[in-house]
Amino acid sequence: MKHKFPVRPDRLRLIPDQFSWVDHRLVRDCHIELISHQAATLYLFLLTVGDHQGLSYYSEFTIGKRIGMDPTMLIDARDELIRRELVAFKSPIYQVLTLDPVACRPTRRTSEPMALPEILQHIMGGAR
């Protein structure tokens, strides 16, 4: 049997005290709103296949095949998750990290009206 060691032992994933294996803070703290669909797909896959410490040895080839991503898209999704501190990666190990709190702003649906100053701020790059 192969021994696995966490990439980030200081950030071992803990299973939350709730019904779901997926931590509700993923949605409640807006983590899901801050990542692309590709990154969310990869994250869900890693949550699903990871062990109790969030560790997975799936190869990039196998992951790409399973979730329908080409190698470039997969690497971009992985890099995005690393930047958002949702996963750590040290080839060949992925580690899903515990969720840290994120400052969360409610999202606005595109059909809702915006005030002119808000539109201008968004155009000028002030809104992120």
* CATH number 1.10.10.10 is the correct assignment for the domain at 9-123: yes
Torsion of CA 39, 41, 44, 48, to 10 degrees: -130
Given a contact cutoff of 8 angstroms between Cβ atoms, the answer to whether 114 and 108 are in contact is: yes
Given a contact cutoff of 8 angstroms between Cβ atoms, the answer to whether 76 and 38 are in contact is: yes
Determine the Cα angle at 75 with ends 88 and 39, to 5°: 70
Q: Tell which residue, 41, 38, 49, has the closest CA to residue 13.
A: 49
Kindly report the pTM of this predicted structure.
0.70
pLDDT tens for the 128 residues of the chain, in order? 778 899 999 998 776 665 456 888 898 888 999 999 999 999 999 998 888 888 999 999 999 999 999 999 999 999 999 999 999 999 999 999 999 887 676 555 555 666 777 777 766 765 44
Domain ranges of the chain: 9-123
CA atoms within 13 A on the CB side of 53: 17
